[in-house]
Amino acid sequence: MKHPRISAKATGKLILLGEYAVLEGAPSLVAAIDRFCHVHIRKNGFSIFGLEAMNLDMPDLTFHLDESGKVILAGNSPYTSEKRTDFLIEVINYVASRYEGKIPGAYISIDTGDFFHRTSGNKFGLGSSAALTVALIRAMNEYMGRNLSADALFSEAIKAHRAGQGRLGSGVDIAASAAGGVIEYVVPGSEEDITNAIKRHKWPDGLYFTSVWTGTSASTRFMLEKVKRFRLTSPDFYHSIMDEMRSIAEDGCRAFASGDAGKFLEVVPAYLEQERKLEAACGIEIISPSHQKINDIVRNAGGVYKPSGAGGGDIGVAFCDNEETHLNIQSALQDSPYDLLDLAIVPAEKDLPISYE
């Protein structure tokens, strides 16, 4: 008997404002965008699991679950200390522990191809691990007959993600993947109380955005560790920068929520300048030469620009308040060495249904 295949997907993210400062309680703006992680699960009638993760450069795994839900690799699964493998195993451990290991064996397939450049294979920096976590949790819970609400999905996913990667990071990418649309996000007080962590916002009329890839990938973990070290060694200086970033982020969120595109455009370069101060203080490269060149291109075309996320490489986002400038920005970037990304926001009301085939 052929069992039905359960399929689930989760979006990537594009951070619009509030990077770094979100770690100190500031609000951040983030959009769910149409790059998806796809997870497929099919029951196999046995107690063992097979897992393949396309695009992640890791071996296929065979495993079973013990009574606590812990993954036990089969003897024919190659040993690896690859972080991607460890991360996947920890996410599965988390979900399986919720069911005390009583999950029927299945074949699990994960596809994160949307998050990698087709030619170079480099990651874009659009939140692939968060999208993977959210999609895998949705699929595994549906496999067990439990359809999670957006709130429950966020709560479960942030716990599982932290089990796999530790407490590094804010969870903003998890929130975007779980909630959809454009949200204002504040780090919840605890993993058990996510009240007021997410506010949904409508995209302001007259605000245009263009996303562009620098051509190189960056390590968010490395950047955050350097910022954490700066926090420990120079707390007063650190908090003076973060307080200013928080104030600017709050202004930007208010402008965005009220539909004031003009005010939001004033906030973006102000936030960029604070990121320059942070990079100088930490000895990291948030505004890399590539980001600076893109910023110059966008400014010359009449827009404003900032990195989306930790910076260094990965993605940047340009903003403007009219269609003519929007087209000028895109034309200028098309003539540059950098890649325009055709990203669209996935609205919160758009259903991403579990499907059965």
Ordered mean pLDDT values, 10 residues apiece, the chain (357 residues): 84 97 96 96 93 86 90 72 78 91 94 88 88 94 90 89 74 92 90 81 96 90 91 96 98 97 98 97 94 97 96 93 97 95 82 41
Characterise 200 by phi-psi region: left (phi > 0), alpha (psi -120 to 50), beta (else): beta
- Would you state the pLDDT for residue 350? 44
- Would you state the pLDDT for residue 78? 58
Task: Say what the alpha-carbon torsion angle 113, 118, 120, 123 is, to the nearest 10 degrees.
Answer: -40
The DSSP output letter for 127 is -
Of 83, 36, 109, the residue nearest 352 (C-alpha): 36
Of 77, 73, 52, 51, the residue nearest 63 (C-alpha): 73
- Would you state the pLDDT for residue 337? 93
Tokens 């102000």 correspond to 270
For residues 245 and 253, the answer to whether their CB atoms sit within 8 Å is: no
Of 3.30.930.10, 3.40.50.300, 1.10.287.80, 3.30.230.10, which CATH number belongs to 5-202? 3.30.230.10
- Would you state the pLDDT for residue 355? 41
- Would you state the pLDDT for residue 121? 80
Any idea where the domains of the chain sit in the sequence? 5-202, 208-341
- Would you state the pLDDT for residue 265? 98
Q: By three-state DSSP, how is residue 172 classified?
A: helix
Distance CA 74, CA 61 (A): 8
Instruction: Find all residues with CB under 8 Å of 118, minimum gap 6, and list them.
Output: none
Strands 61-65 and 49-54: antiparallel
- Would you state the pLDDT for residue 57? 78
Tokens 């294979």 correspond to 121
Of 3.30.565.10, 3.90.850.10, 3.30.70.890, 1.25.40.20, which CATH number belongs to 208-341? 3.30.70.890
- Would you state the pLDDT for residue 166? 66
- Would you state the pLDDT for residue 132? 94
Measured CA to CA in angstroms, residue 245 lies from 23, 51, 260, 277 at distances of 11, 42, 19, 10
